[in-house]
């Protein structure tokens, strides 16, 4: 009886946490400066040093992951939610190293909002991580990873709506992480 109670508690405890996303680039709820406008890495003014990310509790049957990073606090300033990073990640991965956006050739990346007239970058330049650069005040950034039951077949430079169409009906689970970027 005791043995099955302990086993049941362990199993419940493990599944209670589910799919989880973390980043050592976010401390006490704040994104470290180097991953945004105060960092030294950039592509024509777009912060380009991507955050390290790690996930666990991956659902059984996962064949790929989709990653979306957005800034909803940008809506009053730009008129739309600013897309910072869109990526398709192989299903065998459980983390992305710092700067994976520029160094990892296994991830397929879509365009971010730096392609807009407000960012002015080309499609190729904007098909990477485009870090936080809030123009008015601190903004909260939402990073969501989706576990998918199929491999997504898109080419670098796709748009977020194309990814969402490919994902429809194939999301096993998702995990979201938020981080605030400070302004000086």
Range of the domain at 166: 30-179
114 found inside a domain:
yes
151 found inside a domain:
yes
**89-122 pLDDT tens trace:** 999 999 999 999 999 999 999 999 999 999 999 9
Within 8 A by CB and 6+ apart from 150, the residues are 63, 64, 170
Within 8 A by CB and 6+ apart from 65, the residues are 55, 88, 89, 90, 91, 93, 145, 146, 147, 148
Q: Which tokens is 37 given? A: 């406008």
Average pLDDT taken over every residue of the chain: 92
CA distance 144 to 167: 13
Give pLDDT, residue 184: 86
Q: E strand or H helix at 175, and its extent?
A: strand 171-181
9 found inside a domain:
no
14 found inside a domain:
no
| 2 pLDDT more than 90 | no
Look up the pTM and report it.
0.90
98 found inside a domain:
yes
Instruction: Annotate 41-60 with three-state secondary structure.
Output: CEECCEECCCCCEEEECCCC
8 found inside a domain:
no
CA distance 174 to 38: 30
Q: The domain spanning residue 101 has which CATH number? A: 3.90.280.10
CA 11 to chain centre: 29
Domains contained in the chain, number = 1
CA distance 179 to 152: 27
Contact 91, 62 (CB under 8 A): yes
């Amino acid at each position: 009886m005791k043995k099955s109670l302990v086993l049941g508690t362990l199993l419940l405890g493990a599944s209670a946490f589910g799919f989880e996303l973390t980043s050592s680039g976010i401390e006490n709820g704040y994104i470290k400066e180097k991953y945004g406008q105060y960092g030294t890495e950039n592509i024509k003014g777009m912060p380009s040093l991507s955050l390290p990310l790690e996930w666990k509790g991956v659902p059984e049957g996962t064949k790929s992951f989709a990653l979306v990073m957005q800034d909803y606090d940008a809506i009053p300033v730009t008129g739309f939610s600013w897309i910072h990073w869109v990526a398709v990640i192989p299903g065998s991965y459980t983390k992305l190293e710092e700067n994976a956006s520029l160094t990892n050739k296994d991830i397929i990346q879509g365009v971010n909002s730096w392609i807009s007239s407000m960012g002015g970058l080309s499609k190729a330049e904007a098909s990477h991580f485009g870090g936080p650069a809030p123009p008015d005040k601190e903004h909260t950034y939402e990073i969501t990873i989706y576990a998918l039951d199929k491999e997504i077949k898109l080419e670098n430079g796709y748009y977020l709506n194309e990814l969402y169409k490919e994902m429809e009906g194939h999301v096993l689970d998702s995990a979201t992480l938020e981080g605030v970027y400070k302004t000086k």
